[in-house]
Amino acid sequence: MTKKHPELRERSDSPRISTNNNSTDSIPSDKDNGTKGNGNRNVVLADRDRSRISRSQSLAHPRYPSWPREASYPFGEPGTTTGPSLSETQSSSDRPYVPLSHLQQDHHLQATDDNAYDSLVELPTPVSTQSLRFDFSEPSVTGPSPPVPVWTMHSQHIPQITLTSAQISLGLHLFLAHLAPSIPFIHIPTFDASSAPEPLQLSMLSLGFQFLEDVNQAQTLSSHCYERGKQILREDEPEYSGATPLITVQSLLLLHFYAVFYACGGQTKWGLQLCGKSVAIARREGLMDPLPSRSAVTSDLNALWTQFIKSETHKRTLFFVYQFDAAYYLILSEPRRLSHLEMKHDMPCAEGLWTAPDVSTWAHRSIIGTIDQSGPSSGSGVTFAGPGQEGGQRYIHVVRSWMSPSAQVPSVPVSPYSALLVVLFCSTSMREVSGWSTMTGKICFERFEALNASLQAIEPVVCGQAPSGNFAIETEVTWRMTMIELLLWNPSHTNGLVEQSLDAAMAAAITLSTAQSIIFTPQVSDLLSPHLLYFLTFLERTAVNPTELPWVTIYAFKAVLVAWQLARAGSPEVIQTVGIGGVDQMGDWVRRVFKKREAWRVGKLVMKSLEELESI
């Protein structure tokens, strides 16, 4: 009986490759096959096998050079240290990991056909997590934690609370005054919070009530608004007055902002579900695709401004989704839900255009920006939004420009939020590469060097911003934390921990900072010092700041842990710069600077973590 697909049989009998002499078995001729037309098929199969041979040879001799042997372990063989002596009886799971400060060395290798990756590097096995017991007896600020979630978005009975118009006005005022400047998609000059759709208004109130002086009242009202908003949005296609997919995504963003960073504890699981739902709706409704930035009626200035606000709000909402997705990956090691390639939007416009109070000011700044853009090119291929310019280059193109071998600082000013989005790409890419290296035991120096070069190229942009506004501070804090992780891989991530809340993340940071030793050499200390000193100085100088974003406090706390480890290893110069006499006095200093942030849930978690650190 004739087979329906004879090529399947012939493929299984196709010539096999000899790995010893790179030869192939003889290919039967048409006569041997006895079937007309099989000769052409065998030729195709033979070409396919030659391609496999070539591919096998290219894997045996990859295109990129291996790191010189003398530079493979610039800080000594793995398992050794130049700091305080480690126990000679350390198990492999306790072996200190190798920091990547060799990326800063003056080695400039050219691409050849020698090796694609460095030879196998002995990286430590992730430590066992069985001893990490995250048992937090303190209840969350919204009351007892809900039961383990099932497939529903409504987790708790909503208390019967009737908000007065005065309370609503106060809550919206507090949100607009303290948090709205850090929410990129809210166009404050034209936004009317009182007429916003109900779920968006509730999500704003859940955040705004956090700034009430009465803590108990703040917790009660915030929890009520959060649960009510979650109930409205529990369906896949929620129905409410003024419902649009964009409004739904914006409401979900603010609700999981509250759940993860303000309610914390047991509410985090719900917040992460809300985050996943916002991504799913954005994909389903096609929000990843940009809107036209110009109105068809070009003779009407108000129509042009209205279309600009609509398009820019759409774009900034999706970038805020991307920002949160990256934040959960960097803070909780939560797997990312979004691909970088899904961000098909242009970069955000200049802050001067976005904050223009009226249409005439917007038109004037747009004209000035057009004149500035017609000036001489910077030659770097990077165009960001300056003070009077509108973002006009795709996010992917900007990232490619920064990641190119000749990345240069653009001649036009860069808005802090645009710079933050580029830094987030580098930060998440750093995590992905460190995870790959930990899993395989190999270090892809090409990718690390590209990230290092890009981060160094963006330094004048990030650190050159005026320290006004949360975006400028947030961008520099994120950039410096990424530079620290480039040298010292994040221990939670490389040990395979995915924290379920900020409570667990803080406990893991404390536990792993003492469970694993870090190799500190003079070179590593010198590279870390300016970044650690920035965080210590920031904590020392900043007064009580209600607008400080939670992740800024978290990154600062992680930097303090690294400075503490560095001081314990015999290099107290960084902490002495800010007036700390030694390791013994560091606890009092840390307690004092974070005491100013104790009004917020993140500050309370830091203070609780300090008690665990002092007991060590």
Instruction: Give residue-wise pLDDT tens across range 573-614.
Output: 899 888 888 888 888 898 999 988 888 888 888 888 887 766
pLDDT at 139 over 70: no
Least confident of 15-24, 177-186, 393-402, 414-423: 15-24
Least confident of 149-158, 225-234, 366-375, 469-478: 149-158
Angle subtended by helix axes 301-332 and 359-373, to nearest 10: 70
pLDDT band at 273; cut points 50, 70, 90: very high
pLDDT at 36 over 90: no
Least confident of 346-360, 430-444, 462-476: 462-476
Q: List phi, psi (to 5°) of 48.
A: -65, -40
Work out the percent of the chain whose per-residue pLDDT is above 90: 37
Mean pLDDT of 532-545: 89
pLDDT of residue 568: 86
9 contacts: CB under 8 Å, gap ≥ 6: 3
Higher model confidence: residue 602 or residue 71? 602
**CA–CA gap between residue 528 and residue 99 (Å, rounded):** 11
Most confident of 130-139, 469-478, 514-523, 550-559: 550-559
Least confident of 52-66, 230-244, 287-301: 52-66
pLDDT of residue 560: 93
pLDDT of residue 217: 92
pLDDT of residue 124: 55
pLDDT of residue 223: 94
| Average pLDDT for the chain | 74
pLDDT at 88 over 80: no
Q: Are 523 and 101 in contact (CB under 8 A)?
A: yes
pLDDT of residue 9: 38
Mean pLDDT of 384-407: 68
pLDDT band at 66; cut points 50, 70, 90: very low
Most confident of 248-257, 435-444, 510-519: 248-257
Q: Which of 486, 495, 509 minimizes the C-alpha distance to 431? A: 486
pLDDT of residue 1: 46
Instruction: Please name the residue ranges forming H helices in 233-262.
Output: 245-258
pLDDT band at 116; cut points 50, 70, 90: very low
Which three-class secondary structure state does DSSP give residue 307?
A: helix
Least confident of 116-125, 403-412, 453-462, 607-616: 116-125
Least confident of 186-195, 287-296, 316-325, 556-565: 287-296
Q: Which of 443, 567, 456 minimizes the C-alpha distance to 97? A: 443
Q: Is 508 left (phi over 0), alpha (psi -120 to 50) or beta?
A: alpha
pLDDT band at 410; cut points 50, 70, 90: low
pLDDT at 3 over 60: no
pLDDT band at 320; cut points 50, 70, 90: very high
Work out the percent of the chain whose per-residue pLDDT is above 70: 66
pLDDT of residue 411: 52
pLDDT of residue 373: 53
Q: List phi, psi (to 5°) of 561.
A: -65, -40
Q: What is the dihedral of CA 315, 426, 535, 510, to 10 degrees?
A: 110
Q: Are 555 and 473 in contact (CB under 8 A)?
A: no
Q: Are 455 and 483 in contact (CB under 8 A)?
A: yes
pLDDT of residue 475: 93
**CA–CA gap between residue 300 and residue 304 (Å, rounded):** 6
Higher model confidence: residue 522 or residue 260? 260
pLDDT of residue 238: 84
Higher model confidence: residue 464 or residue 380? 464
Q: Which of 387, 479, 192, 470 minimizes the C-alpha distance to 309? A: 192
pLDDT of residue 78: 33
Mean pLDDT of 278-287: 94
Secondary structure of the chain: what % helix, strand, coil (to 5)?
Answer: 55, 0, 40
pLDDT at 83 over 90: no
Higher model confidence: residue 579 or residue 17? 579
Residue 24 per-residue DSSP state: B
pLDDT of residue 461: 84
pLDDT at 48 over 50: no
- The tens digit of pLDDT for each residue in 89-101 reads 333 334 333 444 4
**CA–CA gap between residue 189 and residue 192 (Å, rounded):** 9
Query: In one letter, which amino acid is 316?
Result: R
Q: Is 316 left (phi over 0), alpha (psi -120 to 50) or beta?
A: alpha
152 contacts: CB under 8 Å, gap ≥ 6: 234
Q: List phi, psi (to 5°) of 140.
A: -70, 165
pLDDT at 279 over 90: yes
pLDDT at 468 over 80: no
- The tens digit of pLDDT for each residue in 480-536 reads 999 999 988 888 888 888 988 998 898 888 888 877 777 788 888 899 999 999 999
423 contacts: CB under 8 Å, gap ≥ 6: 455, 458, 462, 475, 478, 479, 482
Mean pLDDT of 55-84: 34
Residue 394 pairs in a beta bridge with 346
Distances (CA, A) of 508 to 360, 494, 502: 53, 12, 10
pLDDT at 23 over 50: no
Distances (CA, A) of 279 to 207, 247, 286, 429: 21, 13, 11, 20
Mean pLDDT of 115-134: 47
Query: In one letter, which amino acid is 261?
Result: F
Mean pLDDT of 425-451: 90
Least confident of 1-10, 281-290, 335-344, 425-434: 1-10
**CA–CA gap between residue 528 and residue 519 (Å, rounded):** 12
Token output for 590: 């840390």
